[in-house]
C-alpha cells in the first residue's frame, strides 16, 4: 500500500469528523433551545418571521407565536429557532442616560455650541445677501483692474 494513499484516507477521515462534529453541535444547541421555549421568548421561524412565543404544546410539538402586528400563528417546533442578534428587538434606551458633560455653554451666550463646531443656519435667507456681497466684491475687483 502506498503511503500517499494512506495519508489521503486519514485526511479525508479527519475532514469528515470535523464537519460532522460542528453540525452535531449546532443541532444539539437548536434542540436545547427548543426544549427551553417558554411564553414571552422572542423567536424566529425558518422562513424569517420574528415573533414572541405565546404558548408551547410539547406533546404535539407546536409553538404558538404572536407577530408584531398581533397575528397569532401555530408553528412546528423544528421550524423555530433563536433570533439572531441583528434581528432581535432592540431594548429601548433610558433617556436619563444621556451624557451632558459633552454639552458646554459659551460664556456670555445662551448657545450650547462649542467653539470647534461650525454653526449652520436653519434657513437659506442669508445666502441671498452672501451672494450679493460676493458679486459686489467681484465687481470692485474688476473695476480696480480696469482703472489701472
pLDDT value for 107: 54
Is pLDDT of 108 > 70? no
Instruction: Output b/e per residue, 17-51; b: 16+ Cβ within 10 A.
Output: eeeeeeeeeeeeeeeeebeebeeebebbbeeebbb
Q: Is the pTM of this model over 0.75?
A: no
Cβ atoms 34, 74 nearer than 8 A: no
Q: Alpha-carbon distance 23 to 12, whole Å? A: 17
Is pLDDT of 140 > 60? yes
pLDDT band at 119 (very low <50, low <70, confident <90, very high): low
Cβ atoms 59, 76 nearer than 8 A: no
Find the range with the poorest average confidence among 5-19, 72-86, 129-143: 129-143
pLDDT value for 86: 65
Cβ atoms 42, 51 nearer than 8 A: yes
The three cell numbers of residue 28 are 444539539
Mean pLDDT of the residues in the chain:
78
Amino acid at each position: 500500500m502506498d503511503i500517499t494513499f494512506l495519508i489521503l484516507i486519514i485526511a479525508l477521515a479527519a475532514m469528515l469528523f470535523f464537519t460532522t462534529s460542528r453540525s452535531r453541535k449546532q443541532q444539539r444547541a437548536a434542540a436545547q433551545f427548543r426544549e427551553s421555549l417558554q411564553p414571552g421568548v422572542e423567536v424566529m421561524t425558518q422562513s424569517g418571521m420574528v415573533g414572541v412565543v405565546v404558548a408551547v404544546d410539547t406533546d404535539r410539538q407546536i409553538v404558538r407565536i404572536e407577530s408584531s402586528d398581533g397575528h397569532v400563528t401555530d408553528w412546528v417546533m423544528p421550524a423555530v429557532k433563536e433570533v439572531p442578534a441583528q434581528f432581535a428587538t432592540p431594548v429601548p434606551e433610558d433617556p436619563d442616560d444621556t451624557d451632558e458633560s459633552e454639552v458646554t455653554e459659551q460664556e456670555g451666550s445662551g448657545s450650547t455650541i462649542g467653539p470647534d463646531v461650525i454653526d449652520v443656519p436653519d434657513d437659506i435667507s442669508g445666502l441671498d445677501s452672501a451672494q450679493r456681497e460676493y458679486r459686489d466684491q467681484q465687481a470692485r475687483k474688476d473695476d480696480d483692474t480696469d482703472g489701472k
